[in-house]
Amino acid sequence: MKPTVSPKKKFFIPSNKVYWTAKNPFEEFKAFIGSTPELPLDQIVQCTEAIMDRIRWGYEKLLEEEAKELVWMVQYNTIIKAYEVAEKYVKEVDYTAEDIEDFCFALENTQKIPYLIPGPAGVYISALCNYAKEEEIVLKLSELKTEINLIGFRLPRGKRLMIEGDTGDFTGIGLEGGELVIEGNAKNWTGAGMRGGKILVKKNIGLHTGEWMMGGEIYVGGRVRGLGNIVEGKVYERDKLVYPGKVRYPNHFY
């Protein structure tokens, strides 16, 4: 006899059976708290911006204190005073050589810095270079429209500053034993009052070169437009010693 009702399959589970729970294959990650993804590039940008803000703030303070009327006369006393103020602010910032280069471009391109006065800017950049951790600093300034004055002011012994591009007046004045290399041209009063060290200008140099220079050497790869009243030191033009030498008339073409 066939059963009239088709038997249905039933699962019998003993009432006192302890159920086996499915094992969580990710159990060990239960307590893992994912970190919010932060890209390394974001961190770098944030950090760089914070440093740039500090550098910019120092520059603005320098302008406030030393160029109140937006006029700045290049006199030896004003340069020294401006440098002392710049030193004060620069010492407080932890920066690298790359930040100095960024600051040079920010001077021209950003709205955050309202004005570029080549004199105080040069003094401030010189202070940045002199207090930088790196012994060798390269500033790629060839794209900069403005030629910055006073670069290399008081560059100390053991430092090497290389400028890719041209520089303005008073380049390397008061040099204190460092090595300043200009890949382009330098304007007037280069090396004025320098006490030691070396200035290398790959192209041409302007008038009053080495005015009241007390020591050190200036090498010029191109032409020296005119020498200043030099007290001590040497000036070479295309490997030829021009001071001390036969021709020592200031600001004369030779």
Partner 1 sequence: MGKNGYQQQAMGIYQFISEHLYFNRPDMEIKGERFNSAILLSLLTGLRKGKELIIGEPGLGKTTSAEYVCSLIYQFPLGVIWGSEVSGHPEQTEEKIIGRPDLGKLNRGEEDVVWTNFSQIPVKIVDEINRLPETKQSMILDGVDRGNWEYLNEMIINDEYCLFATANYQDGGTNTIIAPLVDRFDVMVESRYPGANLSFLIGKDKRKDHVLRHPKFERDLTHVLKSKIAYEKKIPKMEEVCNDYGEYLLKAIGVKPFQRQDRDQIRAEMESVDLDLDASAFTRMVLAELSFCERYGQKRVVETCEEGCHYTGYLCYQIKNCASNRLPSSIKQYAQGLAWLLEDSQIDIEHIQAIIPYTLAHRIQWKEEVLSQKERAKRDDPFPIFLAKEAVKTISQRYREQSDHLKDALAIGSKIFQGGDWEPLEGDHPLYVEVKKDINGRKS
Q: Would you tell me which residues interact with partner 1 (CB under 8 A)?
A: 22, 24-30, 32-35, 37
Q: Helix (H, G, I), strand (E, B), or coil: what is residue 178?
A: strand
Between 5 and 39, CB nearer to partner 1: 39
Minimum gap (Å) between residue 14 Cβ and partner 1: 25
**3-state SS of 180-193?**
EEECCCECCCCCCC
Minimum gap (Å) between residue 26 Cβ and partner 1: 4
Distance in angstroms (rounded) separating the CA atoms of residues 139 and 111: 22
Between 1 and 33, CB nearer to partner 1: 33
Give the distance from CA 234 to its chain's centroid.
Answer: 29
Minimum gap (Å) between residue 33 Cβ and partner 1: 8
Question: What tokens were used for 166?
Answer: 């041209």
Helix ranges (H only) for the chain are 40-66, 76-90, 97-109, 118-130
Q: Beta partners for 217?
A: 198, 234
Between 15 and 35, CB nearer to partner 1: 35
Minimum gap (Å) between residue 42 Cβ and partner 1: 15
Minimum gap (Å) between residue 39 Cβ and partner 1: 11
Between 19 and 26, CB nearer to partner 1: 26
Between 14 and 37, CB nearer to partner 1: 37
Asked if residue 224 lies in contact with residue 245, where contact means CB atoms within 8 angstroms, the answer is: no
